[in-house]
Structure 1
Amino acid sequence: MAGWRIRGGGAPWAILLFACHLHAADAPSIVTNLAPIIVVPTPLPGMGIDAAALPYAVQSLRYDVQRDVAGANLVGVMNNRLTGVNINDVQGSPFQVDVTFHGFRASPTLGAAQGISVYLDGVRVNEPFGDIVSWDMIPEFALESITLLPGANPVFGPNTLGGALVLTTKSGLTSPGFDADVSYGSYARRRTDLSYGISNAQGWHLFVAGTYFDENGWRRDSPGIMRNGFLKFGRHTAADDWDIEVMHGSSRLVGNGLLPGTRYDDGAQVFEPGLYQRDRRAIYTAPDVTHTQATQLTTHYTHRFGADTQLTALLYTRHTRRDTVNGDINDDYDDFIDACGAGYGADGEPLDGDCDVSRAQADALATGVLNSTYTRQQGQGGGLSFSTHVGDHQLAFGTTFDRSSVSYAQYTQDAMLDEGSRDTIVDPSAPVEFFSGVNGTSRSWGVYATDTWALTDTTHVTGSLRWNDLRLLSVLSSADDGVQPGQRNTYRKLNPSLGVTQALGSWVMFANASQSNRAPSVIELGCADPTEPCRLPTGLQADPPLRQVVSRAWQLGARWKNDGGLNASASLFRTDNRDDILFLRAPNTQQGYFANVGRTRYQGADLDVGGQQGAWSWHLGYNLLLATYQSYGQLLAGERTIDTRPGTRIAGLPRHSAKFTVDWNATSRLTLGADLLAFSGSVSNGNEDGRISDDDPDVRANWGTRGYALVNLRAVFALSDALQFYARVDNAFDRRYETYGAVADDALPDGHLIRPQVAPGEEMSTLFVAPGAPRLFTVGVRLHF
Structure 2
Amino acid sequence: MTRLSALKSALLATCALLPTTAFAQQTLQTIEVVGVSPVQGSEIAKDKIPSNVETIGARELDHARAPSLLDSILQSVPGVSLSDQTGNAFQRDLNYRGQTASPVLGTPQGIAVYQNGTRINEAFGDVVNWDLIPEMAIARMTLMPNNPLFGLNATGGAMSIEMKNGFTYQGGEAQLFGGSFGRIQSGAQYGWNNGTYSAYIAAEGAYDRGWRDHSSASQIRRMYADFGARGDTTEFRLSFTGADNKLGSVAATPIEMLNQRWSSVYTWPQSLRLQMQMVQASLKWAPTDTLSVQANGYYRNYKSARIDGNGSEVAACDPAGAFPGEFCLADAAGTEFQINRNGPVANTLAANAALGQIDRNTVKTDSYGGSLQATSTTQLFGHDNHFVVGASVDHGNTNFQATSELGTIDNNLFVTGLGVYIDQPNAGLAPVNLNAKNTYLGFYATNTFDITSQLALTAGGRFNWAQINLRDQTGFAPLLNSNNNFQRFNPVVGLNYKITPNMTAYAGYSEANRAPTPLELGCSDPANPCLIDNFLIADPPLKQVVSRTIEGGLRGEVSGGSSAYAAAPPPYRKAPIKAVSVDEGWKLRWGLSLFRTENADDIIQVVDPANPVRGYFKNAGNTLRQGVEAKVDLTWNRWTAYANYTFIDATFRSAFDVNDPFLGAPVGVVSGNHIPGIPAHRLKLGAEYAVTDDWKIGTSIVYVGSQYLLHDETNVYPKVPAHWVVNLNTSYQVTKNVEVFGLIQNLFNQRYYSAGTVFDVGGFNTAGGGNAFAFNDPRSMVPGMPLAAYAGIRAKF
TM-score (ref. length: structure 2): 0.86
The residue type equivalent to 1:670 in the other structure is W
TM-superposed deviation, 1:65: 4.6
> Would the aligned equivalents of 2:708 and 2:715 in 1 still touch at CA under 8 Å?
no
Q: Which residue of 1 aligns with 2:572?
A: none
Alignment partner of 1:88 is 2:88 = no
> Would the aligned equivalents of 2:609 and 2:661 in 1 still touch at CA under 8 Å?
no
> Would the aligned equivalents of 1:19 and 1:557 in 2 still touch at CA under 8 Å?
no
Aligned pair partner of 1:583 in 605, 623, 629: 605
Q: Which residue of 1 aligns with 2:493?
A: 498
Q: Which residue of 1 aligns with 2:361?
A: 373
Alignment partner of 1:59 is 2:74 = no
TM-superposed deviation, 1:437: 3.2
Alignment partner of 1:240 is 2:234 = yes
Q: Which residue of 2 aligns with 1:346?
A: none
The residue type equivalent to 1:780 in the other structure is G
Aligned pair partner of 2:253 in 256, 259, 262: 259
- Secondary structure of 1:430's counterpart equals strand
TM-superposed deviation, 1:364: 7.9
Alignment partner of 1:178 is 2:203 = no
TM-superposed deviation, 1:553: 0.5
Question: Cα distance 1:398–1:233, how it changes in 2: closer, same or farther (>3 A)?
Answer: same
Aligned pair partner of 2:261 in 279, 291, 294: 279
Q: Which residue of 2 aligns with 1:426?
A: 417
TM-superposed deviation, 1:703: 1.7
> Would the aligned equivalents of 1:56 and 1:510 in 2 still touch at CA under 8 Å?
yes
Q: Which residue of 1 aligns with 2:583?
A: none
TM-superposed deviation, 1:471: 1.0
Alignment partner of 1:766 is 2:778 = yes
> Would the aligned equivalents of 2:307 and 2:359 in 1 still touch at CA under 8 Å?
yes
TM-superposed deviation, 1:336: 7.9
Alignment partner of 1:529 is 2:525 = yes
> Would the aligned equivalents of 2:472 and 2:481 in 1 still touch at CA under 8 Å?
yes
Question: Cα distance 1:477–1:601, how it changes in 2: closer, same or farther (>3 A)?
Answer: farther
Q: Which residue of 1 aligns with 2:162?
A: 168
> Would the aligned equivalents of 1:58 and 1:150 in 2 still touch at CA under 8 Å?
yes
TM-superposed deviation, 1:597: 2.3
> Would the aligned equivalents of 2:662 and 2:778 in 1 still touch at CA under 8 Å?
no
The residue type equivalent to 2:200 in the other structure is F
Aligned pair partner of 1:568 in 590, 604, 614: 590
Alignment partner of 1:219 is 2:212 = yes
Map residues 390-409 of structure 1 onto 2, 5 A cutoff: 390-391=378-379, 392-409=384-401
CA–CA separation in structure 2 for the residues paired with 1:135 and 1:560 = 31
TM-superposed deviation, 1:148: 0.3
Alignment partner of 1:598 is 2:621 = yes
CA–CA separation in structure 1 for the residues paired with 2:158 and 2:89 = 21
> Would the aligned equivalents of 1:34 and 1:563 in 2 still touch at CA under 8 Å?
no
Map residues 288-307 of structure 1 onto 2, 5 A cutoff: 288-307=270-289
Alignment partner of 1:156 is 2:150 = yes
TM-superposed deviation, 1:475: 0.9
Alignment partner of 1:313 is 2:295 = yes
The residue type equivalent to 2:655 in the other structure is Y
Question: Cα distance 1:475–1:360, how it changes in 2: closer, same or farther (>3 A)?
Answer: closer
Q: Which residue of 2 aligns with 1:124?
A: 119
TM-superposed deviation, 1:472: 1.4
Question: Cα distance 1:585–1:771, how it changes in 2: closer, same or farther (>3 A)?
Answer: closer
TM-superposed deviation, 1:131: 0.1
CA–CA separation in structure 1 for the residues paired with 2:449 and 2:280 = 33
- Secondary structure of 2:731's counterpart equals strand
Aligned pair partner of 2:719 in 700, 704, 709: 704
- Secondary structure of 1:449's counterpart equals strand
TM-superposed deviation, 1:680: 1.2
What is the count of residue pairs matched by the alignment? 720
Q: Which ranges of structure 2 fall in alignment gaps of 5 or more residues?
A: 1-8, 19-26, 322-333, 339-345, 424-429, 561-586
CA–CA separation in structure 1 for the residues paired with 2:17 and 2:70 = 22
CA–CA separation in structure 2 for the residues paired with 1:372 and 1:654 = 32
Q: Percent same amino acid at aligned positions?
A: 26
CA–CA separation in structure 1 for the residues paired with 2:233 and 2:348 = 81
Aligned pair partner of 1:453 in 449, 453, 460: 449
TM-superposed deviation, 1:360: 7.3
Q: Which residue of 2 aligns with 1:438?
A: 434
Alignment partner of 1:733 is 2:728 = no
Q: Which residue of 1 aligns with 2:678?
A: 653
CA–CA separation in structure 2 for the residues paired with 1:33 and 1:47 = 24
- Secondary structure of 2:72's counterpart equals helix
CA–CA separation in structure 2 for the residues paired with 1:592 and 1:217 = 30
Question: Cα distance 1:485–1:186, how it changes in 2: closer, same or farther (>3 A)?
Answer: closer
- Secondary structure of 2:149's counterpart equals helix
- Secondary structure of 1:536's counterpart equals coil
The residue type equivalent to 1:368 in the other structure is G
TM-superposed deviation, 1:686: 3.5
Q: Which residue of 2 aligns with 1:724?
A: 739
TM-superposed deviation, 1:277: 1.4
Higher relative contact order (CA 8 A, sep 6+): 1
**Residues 183-235 of structure 1: per-residue CA shift (max 9 Å, x gap):** 0110110000111111113x110000001010111112221001001110011
CA–CA separation in structure 1 for the residues paired with 2:235 and 2:272 = 39
CA–CA separation in structure 2 for the residues paired with 1:228 and 1:138 = 8
Question: Cα distance 1:530–1:90, how it changes in 2: closer, same or farther (>3 A)?
Answer: closer
- Secondary structure of 1:314's counterpart equals strand
Aligned pair partner of 1:548 in 538, 544, 548: 544
TM-score (ref. length: structure 1): 0.87
Aligned pair partner of 2:13 in 8, 16, 23: 16
> Would the aligned equivalents of 2:670 and 2:714 in 1 still touch at CA under 8 Å?
no
CA–CA separation in structure 1 for the residues paired with 2:687 and 2:65 = 11
The residue type equivalent to 1:657 in the other structure is R
Q: Which residue of 2 aligns with 1:783?
A: 795
The residue type equivalent to 2:13 in the other structure is L
CA–CA separation in structure 1 for the residues paired with 2:239 and 2:595 = 37
TM-superposed deviation, 1:688: 4.0
Question: Cα distance 1:158–1:777, how it changes in 2: closer, same or farther (>3 A)?
Answer: same
CA–CA separation in structure 1 for the residues paired with 2:474 and 2:596 = 41
**Residues 317-341 of structure 1: per-residue CA shift (max 9 Å, x gap):** 00000000111111224x989x99x
TM-superposed deviation, 1:559: 1.0
**Residues 410-433 of structure 1: per-residue CA shift (max 9 Å, x gap):** 10111111113x211123x43475
CA–CA separation in structure 2 for the residues paired with 1:20 and 1:689 = 41
Q: Which residue of 2 aligns with 1:363?
A: 351
CA–CA separation in structure 2 for the residues paired with 1:664 and 1:208 = 33
The residue type equivalent to 2:92 in the other structure is V
The residue type equivalent to 1:412 in the other structure is S
**Residues 493-546 of structure 1: per-residue CA shift (max 9 Å, x gap):** 011000001122243111000001111101111112222222323432232221
Aligned pair partner of 1:635 in 654, 658, 676: 658
CA–CA separation in structure 2 for the residues paired with 1:761 and 1:139 = 42
CA–CA separation in structure 1 for the residues paired with 2:686 and 2:88 = 24
CA–CA separation in structure 1 for the residues paired with 2:711 and 2:705 = 19
Aligned pair partner of 2:313 in 310, 328, 331: 331
TM-superposed deviation, 1:70: 2.7
The residue type equivalent to 1:209 in the other structure is A
Q: Which residue of 1 aligns with 2:640?
A: 617
CA–CA separation in structure 2 for the residues paired with 1:561 and 1:305 = 36
TM-superposed deviation, 1:92: 1.8
Question: Cα distance 1:745–1:424, how it changes in 2: closer, same or farther (>3 A)?
Answer: same
Aligned pair partner of 1:743 in 739, 758, 764: 758
Q: Which residue of 2 aligns with 1:348?
A: none
CA–CA separation in structure 2 for the residues paired with 1:584 and 1:757 = 27
TM-superposed deviation, 1:612: 1.2
* Superposition RMSD in Å: 2.8
> Would the aligned equivalents of 1:324 and 1:374 in 2 still touch at CA under 8 Å?
yes
Question: Cα distance 1:777–1:19, how it changes in 2: closer, same or farther (>3 A)?
Answer: farther
The residue type equivalent to 1:602 in the other structure is R
> Would the aligned equivalents of 1:318 and 1:380 in 2 still touch at CA under 8 Å?
yes
Q: Which residue of 2 aligns with 1:350?
A: none
TM-superposed deviation, 1:128: 0.6
- Secondary structure of 1:305's counterpart equals coil
Aligned pair partner of 1:713 in 703, 728, 737: 728
